[in-house]
């Protein structure tokens, strides 16, 4: 079987998250949106063996951050994000390329589940002992990248703890 999973700009995945959130009447702050993109990145690695997000998350004080995404959301502080993220040059929203149905389902599930949690709860989850953020912070410090290998190991461990079969999204 051909692997059709493509990597996408974090801002395009964020726009996919916003679409699902608005459809579900969930409002998201900048911090929630960034953390949800991070969780999508990690769960995609665990389920599909490939990242949906091409950017690498970095270790920031309040958790993992995608610098390009963060910069694109500069106008927001604690209020809800109410517009899609657009290309500065074109004024057109960032769009994810081809997404398989199971990838869309993953984005929808993560958005629906994590989107109901407060931004600081999401941040705390990323700071727990043994998380990729914690490991990178201790070994490389602030503003270092969190590598995919650490994300894979962590999210596969979460799959085991939650009794989620690895093929869960292959059957959708």
Q: Is the pLDDT of residue 2 over 50?
A: no
CA 62 to chain centre: 15
Residues in contact with 84: Cβ distance below 8 Å, sequence separation at least 6, in sequence order: 15, 18, 93, 94
The alpha carbon of residue 147 and the mean position of all alpha carbons in its chain are separated, in whole angstroms, by 14
Mean pLDDT of 59-68: 97
Q: Per-residue pLDDT tens for 127-148? A: 999 999 999 999 999 999 999 9
Helices 30-48 and 119-127: angle between axes, nearest 10 degrees: 50
Mean pLDDT of 50-68: 96
Q: Does 154 score more than 50 pLDDT?
A: yes
- Structure tokens that stand for 132 in this block: 């990729």
Return the CA Rg of the chain. Answer: 15
Whether 93 shows a pLDDT value over 50: the answer reads: yes
Could you give the CA distance from residue 106 to residue 86 in angstroms, rounded to a whole number?
A: 23
């Amino acid at each position: 079987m051909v692997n059709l999973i493509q990597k996408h700009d974090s801002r395009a995945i964020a726009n996919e998250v916003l679409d699902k959130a608005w459809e579900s009447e969930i409002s998201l702050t900048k911090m929630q949106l960034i953390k949800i993109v991070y969780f999508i990145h990690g769960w995609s690695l665990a389920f599909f063996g490939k990242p949906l997000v091409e950017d690498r998350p970095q270790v920031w004080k309040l958790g993992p951050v995608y610098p390009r995404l963060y910069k694109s959301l500069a106008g927001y502080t604690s209020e809800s994000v109410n517009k899609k993220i657009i290309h500065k040059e074109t004024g057109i929203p960032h769009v994810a390329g081809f997404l398989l149905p199971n990838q869309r389902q993953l984005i929808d599930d993560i958005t629906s589940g994590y989107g109901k949690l407060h931004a600081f709860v999401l941040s705390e989850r990323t700071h727990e002992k043994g998380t990729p953020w914690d490991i990178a912070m201790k070994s490389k410090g602030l503003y270092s990248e969190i590598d995919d290998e650490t994300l894979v190991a962590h999210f596969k461990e979460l799959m085991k703890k939650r009794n989620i079969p690895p093929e869960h999204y292959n059957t959708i």
